[in-house]
């Protein structure tokens, strides 16, 4: 793509301190996100997808170590000052969480959440102006203007998630990071929220990073997909290509294991993900991989181009051997 990326991540690492040693939850992740593009980050629990989302926003628990670079339209966020980060959260980056109720203050009217958020970033905005902005963006998200002065508990789960989305976009950020935004919701409401996210992306030209464990959601909403396993991206590429022709054995297994209405045969991946305080040598998926060969247990693969725009970190493909050539993503 020729446009300047809205968000550029390279060599991102996240380490958590544990009594057993440092746990590298995110290990050298790199990708670009263009304006108006949606990227699905998909993986199973513990693969590091949520840590990655939080690292982008610099919202990690105390004591965690972050390395690498998160570049927001030319501005480096890793190691930036607290003031710069506060400004970034909301104005440049919005984060939408799984459980909306816990993010809303039960004692504050919905419109007041907006007034506070808007005036924290743009103190010159009057309260009336802020309320006006709130009503407009709430209406866009399907919340009637007559309900703007209600309290969070007066809304249903789906409506709260709509409110969170409205709060996220009121300052017109360039990138929305949605971490399992529909996991707590029923399928029908989930579909409604995903429609909204899609509309937001195309109407406002924002970049969307959708973190989820549900491959169906990725197929329905994203342009590109990054599959994560044990802290690393093992395959990244356009959704259409990756779903039609998955290259990495893990992606293949994951796609086969989805139980959808069309499923005629059940399939699963044997074994469980590695302990990240002591990851295995070589490819981290090798112990569970049915296509693994000898080198897989000693050589750590890197992302290599496997098709146009599609990259996979697997030794089955030329160039994935770390001893090989340098590859850009």
Partner 1 sequence: MSEREPVLEVSGLETHFHLGGGLLGRGEEQVVRAVDGVTFDIREGEIFGLVGESGSGKTTLGRTILGLVPATGGSIRWKGRELVGLTEKEFRPLRRRLGMIFQDPNASLNPAMTVAQGVGHPLRIHGITQTRAETRARVAEMLERCGLAPAERYLDVYPEDISGGQKQRVVIARTLITGPELVVADEPVAALDMSIRAKVLELMMDLKDELGLTYLYITHDLASGRFVCDRMAIMYLGQMVEWGEARAIYDDPQHPYTASLLDAIPLPDPSRRDRDKQLPRGEIPDALSPPRGCRFHPRCPRAFEPCGWEGRDLIDALEDRWTRIDEATFERELGLVGDRTAAVVADDHVRFRTDDPHALRQLLTELGPSLPTVVIDATTSMEADAGDLVVRFGAGPAPGDQVVAGRTVACHLHGVVERS
Partner 2 sequence: MAETSARRARVQHALKPWRQANPMARRLVVVGLIITLAFALMAIFADAIAPYGQDQYRYIVGTTTDPATIDAAACGDTLDCEQLPRRIEPSEGYPFGTTSARFDVLSRIVHGARVAFAVVALATVLSMGIGVPLGLYSGYRGGRLDRVLVMSMDAIYAFPPLILAILVAFVLKQALEGRIEEPGVFVASVAVGVVYIPQYFRVIRNHTLSVKEEPFVEAARSLGAKPRTIVWRYVFFNVTSSVPVIFTLNAADAVLTLAGLGFLGFGVQYPRAEWGLDVARALPDVVSGFWWTAFFPGMAIMILVTGLTLVGEGLNDIVNPLLRVKGYRGRVPKRKATDDGADVTEVKA
d(CA 75, CA 276) in angstroms, rounded, equals 31
Site for partner 2 in 266-285 (CB under 8 A): 277-278
Rounded to a whole number of angstroms, the minimum distance from the CB of residue 278 to partner 2 is 8
- Asked if 213 is part of the footprint of partner 1 (rule: CB under 8 A), the reply reads yes
- Asked if 277 is part of the footprint of partner 1 (rule: CB under 8 A), the reply reads no
- Considering CB distances under 5 to 8 angstroms, the limit depending on partner class, which of partner 2, partner 1, none binds residue 18? partner 2
For residue 112, what are the contacts with CB-CB under 8 A and spacing of at least 6? none
> 311 forms bridges with which residues in the sheet?
236, 305
Residue 175 or 194: the one with the smaller Cβ distance to partner 1 is 194
d(CA 327, CA 321) in angstroms, rounded, equals 11
Rounded to a whole number of angstroms, the minimum distance from the CB of residue 253 to partner 1 is 6
Helix (H), strand (E) at residue 201: helix 187-204
Rounded to a whole number of angstroms, the minimum distance from the CB of residue 67 to partner 2 is 4
Residue among 319, 313, 310 nearest 225 (CA): 310
- Asked if 191 is part of the footprint of partner 1 (rule: CB under 8 A), the reply reads yes
Q: Which of 22, 240, 272, 294 binds partner 2 (CB under 8 A)?
A: 22
The pairing of beta strand 207-212 with beta strand 38-42: parallel
**Is 230 within 8 Å of 284 (Cβ atoms)?**
yes
d(CA 155, CA 303) in angstroms, rounded, equals 45
C-alpha distances out from residue 249 to 230, 292, 329, Å: 14, 9, 20
Q: Which of 7, 9, 66, 104 binds partner 2 (CB under 8 A)?
A: 66
- Asked if 18 is part of the footprint of partner 1 (rule: CB under 8 A), the reply reads no
Rounded to a whole number of angstroms, the minimum distance from the CB of residue 69 to partner 2 is 10
- Asked if 17 is part of the footprint of partner 2 (rule: CB under 8 A), the reply reads yes
Range in contact with partner 2 (rule: CB under 8 A) among 15-23, 186-194, 233-241, 313-321: 15-23
- Considering CB distances under 5 to 8 angstroms, the limit depending on partner class, which of partner 2, partner 1, none binds residue 91? none
User: Number of residues in contact with partner 2, rule: CB under 8 A?
Assistant: 22
The pairing of beta strand 175-179 with beta strand 224-229: unpaired
- Asked if 78 is part of the footprint of partner 2 (rule: CB under 8 A), the reply reads yes
The pairing of beta strand 75-76 with beta strand 21-33: unpaired
- Asked if 20 is part of the footprint of partner 2 (rule: CB under 8 A), the reply reads yes
Q: Which of 3, 79, 145, 172 binds partner 2 (CB under 8 A)?
A: 79
- Asked if 156 is part of the footprint of partner 1 (rule: CB under 8 A), the reply reads yes
DSSP 294: G
**Is 100 within 8 Å of 163 (Cβ atoms)?**
yes
Q: What region does 142 belong to: left with phi over 0, alpha with psi -120 to 50, or beta?
A: left
Range in contact with partner 1 (rule: CB under 8 A) among 4-12, 75-83, 86-94, 209-217: 209-217
Site for partner 1 in 243-272 (CB under 8 A): 243-244, 253-255, 257-263, 266-269, 272
User: DSSP labels for 127-165?
Assistant: HHHHHHHHHHHHHHTT--GGGTTS-GGGS-HHHHHHHHH
Residue 22 or 293: the one with the smaller Cβ distance to partner 2 is 22
Q: Which tokens hold the place of 186?
A: 């029923």
- Asked if 85 is part of the footprint of partner 2 (rule: CB under 8 A), the reply reads no
d(CA 39, CA 318) in angstroms, rounded, equals 26
- Asked if 65 is part of the footprint of partner 2 (rule: CB under 8 A), the reply reads yes
- Asked if 61 is part of the footprint of partner 2 (rule: CB under 8 A), the reply reads yes
Tokens 């793509």 found at: 1
- Which residues would be at the binding site for partner 1 (CB under 8 A)? 44-45, 135-136, 138-140, 142-147, 156-159, 186-192, 194-195, 213-220, 239-240, 243-244, 253-255, 257-263, 266-269, 272
């Amino acid at each position: 793509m020729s446009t300047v990326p809205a968000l550029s991540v390279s060599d991102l690492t996240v380490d958590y301190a544990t009594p057993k040693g440092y746990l590298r939850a995110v290990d050298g992740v790199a990708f670009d996100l263009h304006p108006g593009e949606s990227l699905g980050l998909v993986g199973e629990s513990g693969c590091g997808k949520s840590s990655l989302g939080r690292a982008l926003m610099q919202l990690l628990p105390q004591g965690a170590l972050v390395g690498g670079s998160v570049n927001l339209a030319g501005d480096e966020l890793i190691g930036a000052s607290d003031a710069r980060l506060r400004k970034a959260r909301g104005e440049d980056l919005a984060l939408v969480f799984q459980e909306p109720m816990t993010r809303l203050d039960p004692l504050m009217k919905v419109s007041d959440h907006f007034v506070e958020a808007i005036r924290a970033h743009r103190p010159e905005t009057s309260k009336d102006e802020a309320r006006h902005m709130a009503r407009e963006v709430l209406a866009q998200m399907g919340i009637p203007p007559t309900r703007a002065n209600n309290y969070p508990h007066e809304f249903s789960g789906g409506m709260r998630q709509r409110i969170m989305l409205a709060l996220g976009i009121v300052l017109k950020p360039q990138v929305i990071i949605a971490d399992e935004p529909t996991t707590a919701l029923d399928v029908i409401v989930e579909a409604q929220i995903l429609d909204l996210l899609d509309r937001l992306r195309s109407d406002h030209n924002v970049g969307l990073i959708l973190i989820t464990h549900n491959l169906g959601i990725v197929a329905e909403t994203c342009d590109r997909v990054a599959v994560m396993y044990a802290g690393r991206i093992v395959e990244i590429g356009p959704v259409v290509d990756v779903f039609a022709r998955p290259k990495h054995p893990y992606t293949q297994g994951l796609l086969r294991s989805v139980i959808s209405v069309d499923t005629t045969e059940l399939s699963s991946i044997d074994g469980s993900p590695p302990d990240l305080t002591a990851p295995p040598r070589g490819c981290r998926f090798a112990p569970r991989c049915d296509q693994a060969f000898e080198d897989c247990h000693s050589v750590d693969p890197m992302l290599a181009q496997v098709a146009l725009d599609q990259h996979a970190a697997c030794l089955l493909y030329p160039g994935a051997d770390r001893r090989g050539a340098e590859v850009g993503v």
